[in-house]
Structure 1
Amino acid sequence: MLKPEDVLADEFVRAGLGLEFPNGEDGEPVVTIGQEVLEVMNGIWKQCMIVKVLGRNIAISALSRKLREMWKPKGAMYMMDLPRQFFMIRFKEEEEYMAALTEGPWRVFENYLMVQAWSPSFDPTQDDIDTTPVWIWLANIPINFYHKSILMGTARGTEKPIKVDLTTLHCERARFARVFVEVNLRKPLKGTMLINGERYFVSYEGLSSICLKCGLYRHLVHSCRQGRQEIVSHVEVAAHEKTTNGKCKSGGEWSR
């Protein structure tokens, strides 16, 4: 694995490093790393990607073993763990890096592997991978809708369509049409859609924690903030109706 010390000489780094004590030597130090140093350092990590297994915590050793089995890299592949179950993967061969980055979707241990190219602005303590490719199922749509352009156009109602499953294109199964799309997990996921006036259900393969109330991923209806707010609103309305339509006795009972 290429080490930063092999690329940047100590003298170059020290020349681009600034240290100040604006509030005196006992105060907070202020460090400035020069842009030239950062540009070289960023170049070292250019063939890296950030990954996270959706909805599951996995040890780095188990995930590394699984990814090597799946990708079968011929060149070196290095993996390091980051906060919040993010992992950073570095490839020696650019072709293998691009294949892992673009040829998904990848699934490990029955869950989707979210991937994105590394960038120096990514902060694993705060940021999330907001978009992920998933297969959607359009349940029970008529067989005369099974045309690539129809299905791709229909899938635009959920998010960005990428491709249609070959089994669907070959009309080998007709219980549901399967389309590969990229979805934004910060937005509500569509559970239904109207096609020519008829309503059809949409399901997301591999995404189990979808709230039926607000459509957002990562929580279920019983922990939905929107649902709790509606319950509180209903209770407040009921209490207001009781106070306006009757008087409360000291024992807590109501009379009209």
Structure 2
Amino acid sequence: MEDRPPDPPATLEEGRHVSFAQVVARSVSIPPVDVEFKKLTLYFGEPAVFFSKEEVARSELSFKSTLIGKCSFGKPSLFEIKSYLKKAVYIQGDVIISTLDPRHVLLRFVDHSDFVKVWLKESLHIKGFPVRFMKWTSDFTSGWESPFVPIWITIPGLPINFYHGNFLLCIAGTIGKPLKVDGATGNCIRIVAARVYVELDLRNPIPSKIWIGCGGDGFFQKVVVERLPSYCCFCSKIGHVKESCRKALKYTLARDAVRKGKMIVQDAGA
């Protein structure tokens, strides 16, 4: 029999005994999202069901603190991943880790601050295996990489009165979703430039300046994005753009060959 500590004594809840297994199951369960039951319909002759954008958004709320770990060169065990995050990254709350496919694991964090802490690491070596982290989105499929990434932005020459409270978060929020303020910035120690970690969508253009309105006046503020990675919207991979994508090039060559073949057939029939 496997050696393990004995189960703790059952506790009383609403007058009933609750087992340790039930307590654990409840701690990792996903809160249900109720939607109106849908009637069967058809889409291009096939059975279909349709949900509104609002319903889909509600279904995603339980996974707002969820990451995907990509293991391209082998995968440590789920226990090893969790143990490493506890001991080396010092996450405070629990994390539920499960296998998505042979190369991906899903990490569901109970504490949102732990989610941010691990995501900002970008990648870790766990038991000799590199694990790269990306934000979970509902349209994730194997072979696809999320365009949402955490990036440091620098705001040089920002007046110091905008460093505290929600002022800085509002300013950084014009670029992306604020995740973390640099410690020296938050304490007004480094005031040459404010630094904030934000969540960016690499598919969208990143402005180099923003307008900060102050009553009836205001000023343009320069913004610098540090180490912005490339993203290919054709193959959905980080590290290159569409113009240098091999898949995009093969697709273009194949498409041009088909068009050329059609033109030859048309000329021959003329």
Q: Into which bin does the TM-score normalised by the smaller protein fall?
A: 0.3 to 0.5
Q: TM-score, normalised by structure 2?
A: 0.43
TM-score for both structures, normalised by structure 1: 0.45
